[in-house]
Amino acid sequence: MAARAIGDATVAHGGTGVLSRLWYRQIDHYPNTGWRVFYLAIVVLATIVLYYQLYVAGAVAPQILASYHMSFRFYVDITVVGNAIGAFTSVLAGIADRWGRANLVAYGLGVTGLLILFGVPNAPNEWVFAIIISAVGFVEGIILVATPALVRDFSPQLGRASAMGFWTLGPVVGSLVVAEVASNTLSHLGAWQDQFVICGIVGMVVFLAALFGLRELTPKLRDQIMVNMRDLALVEARARGVDVEASTRHPWRQVVKTDVVLSALAVSLFLIIYYTAVGFNPVYFETVFNYTASKANALGNWWWGIDAIALIVVGVVSDRLRVRKPFMIVGALGTVAMTILYLTKATAPATSYYEFALIVSLIAAFTAIAYAPWMASFTETVERRSPALTAHGLAVWGWIIRATVAISVFILPYVVSSTNALVAYGALGKKALAIEKADPTIKTVLAHPTLFAQLSKYPTNKIPAPLLAKAIKEVGLKSLLAVAKDPHIRAESAFFSANASKLHQVVAAAAATPMQWQHWYWVCVAGELAFIPLVLVMTGRWSPRRAKQDEIEHNLMVEEELQRLAKAAETAAAPTAGGPTPG
């Protein structure tokens, strides 16, 4: 077995040369701080680009629907299928406990980068588009379990919330990048495919960084619990005696436990509001509040920007205080309050852009307060069961969260059923509103659609007498003459008549949609409330004082065990009594 120095660590691999170094990535000593930060930075970048790829479609969903003449229901079904596939491939990601994590991440990035860069922009129809998006979901279901496993491996428990806060920047900054790029490029690039090209190029750059730079710990090192950096000597000393085969035997039996499953379910329900925002906020604001695509995506900048900052801050504070659960409860209660305020605005069309910016920023801050400590606590809960099976525990979380998203997204169109008409015929509706605003006389036509549909079939001087008499009786001679003498009004009347059925659907949908979205956001509130009791099963203290005492006791235990190991090593090295003396 050959070895190659990396900082203060050693990379074990099966041979020399470039190709060998691109496959054998394990390091057999815990890296120093500089290299550890370097590896974690690559993992965070990988996670950001993966979520960027996963969420980019949401930024241009209305344009995709129009381009393929795709129904809203079909688009939602693509999301459902993608998440369902991701749920089952998350289970496959448990192989990372045996096969390692780094190659899954590095080469998975290459696959998704190519699919996004070349596959989606050249999809000729909605079915090919659906297949490619599902393929992306297949790969990402594996990678998005492997990345937090790498973060856990490189971060002791007392730095875990900070590290997971940075990892959680993946979905948040991924969403922020989607919103930022779309809001600044859609107005002049135009084609929705350009968003995928930009995303694909970024993905390939990060793939190259991971291909050449990413490393991981050997199983003997990562299969242990490391509370703080003072454990380093003990962890490396113990590594020689770790039985990897024994510790990973019957993996699902070890990790599919009540505390692991319920805590994963808790955060899955809590994040329904987040996944709704990621997938449907542009649709929501474009159809309910008539925002442009750029304006709707710009609102996402507030949500994801505040979320990113809060994740880092709360991670550091949680590590300093050594507790997780109080943050989760405060974050959940704040998210519930702000979601209720948010849903009341669905039926308040006068709500300003900056009112929404403030509300979504507060939602973002509170979800971050709950989520970064939850992520740290979850990995610690899995470690309580088996530190050697972190990837299997994260696979349980990956399966549950993607299944929850798939189910909730499948249900959403039935709750906000009117959205389909607004997406399909919204352009006609906007044209109708523009005509009505420009020509007040057209209101007469809109008030009597059947009558003017019949009148539009005849030239002004050839209207049958019975129909003319009926028209005079219904709208009055003055109004009828005002319409008849203006050729534009007659043309507009023909437009409204030809599209009467579609416009009727748009009008009905516009009236119903705000209330339907309000109902959906109540579903999100229910998920947030369910989170609160379920986090009680997770590991960790409530009191910072008790947590500090635990750390002191742990440090004493580490010192005692290191002394015991040192004495055992001295005894083993000492000459046997009565044996030959060195000459």
pLDDT the model gives residue 296: 85
When mean pLDDT is compared across 46-60, 213-227, 233-247, 536-550, the lowest value belongs to 233-247
When mean pLDDT is compared across 3-12, 174-183, 268-277, 402-411, the lowest value belongs to 3-12
Given a cut of 80, whether residue 404 has pLDDT beyond it is yes
For residues 202-208, average pLDDT: 94
For residues 451-475, average pLDDT: 76
**How many other CB atoms are found less than 10 A from the CB of residue 2?**
11
Strand order in the sheet with 26-27: 2-6, 9-13, 26-27, 216-217
**How many other CB atoms are found less than 10 A from the CB of residue 478?**
8
Of the pLDDT bands very low, low, confident and very high (cuts 50, 70, 90), residue 582 is very low
pLDDT the model gives residue 431: 59
Of the pLDDT bands very low, low, confident and very high (cuts 50, 70, 90), residue 2 is very low
Cα–chain center distance at 95 = 23
Question: The tokens 């040369």 sit on which residue?
Answer: 17
Report the mean per-residue pLDDT for the chain: 80
Of the pLDDT bands very low, low, confident and very high (cuts 50, 70, 90), residue 522 is very high
Residue type, 352: S
For residues 445-468, average pLDDT: 73
Domains and CATH numbers, the chain: 31-239+255-426+508-544 (1.20.1250.20), 427-507 (no CATH)
Which residue intervals of 322-389 are DSSP H helices?
A: 325-344, 353-385
Given a cut of 90, whether residue 185 has pLDDT beyond it is no
pLDDT the model gives residue 501: 62
pLDDT the model gives residue 92: 75
Q: Which of 426, 471, 465 is nearest to 447 (CA)?
A: 471
Residue pLDDT, tens place only, 111-157: 999 999 999 999 999 999 999 999 988 888 888 888 888 888 787 76
**How many other CB atoms are found less than 10 A from the CB of residue 503?**
21
Residue pLDDT, tens place only, 438-453: 566 666 766 676 777 7
Share of the chain above pLDDT 90, in %: 24
Of the pLDDT bands very low, low, confident and very high (cuts 50, 70, 90), residue 413 is confident
Distance between CA atoms of residues 363 and 375, nearest Å: 18
Distance between CA atoms of residues 229 and 162, nearest Å: 14
For residues 556-583, average pLDDT: 66
Residue type, 174: G
Q: Which of 200, 190, 183 is nearest to 66 (CA)?
A: 190
Running DSSP on this structure, what letter comes out for residue 272? H
**How many other CB atoms are found less than 10 A from the CB of residue 234?**
18
Distance between CA atoms of residues 283 and 208, nearest Å: 34
Of the pLDDT bands very low, low, confident and very high (cuts 50, 70, 90), residue 238 is low
Q: Which of 8-22, 31-45, 196-210 has the highest mean pLDDT?
A: 196-210
pLDDT the model gives residue 62: 79
Residue pLDDT, tens place only, 281-321: 887 888 788 788 788 888 888 888 898 899 989 988 998 89
For residues 181-196, average pLDDT: 83
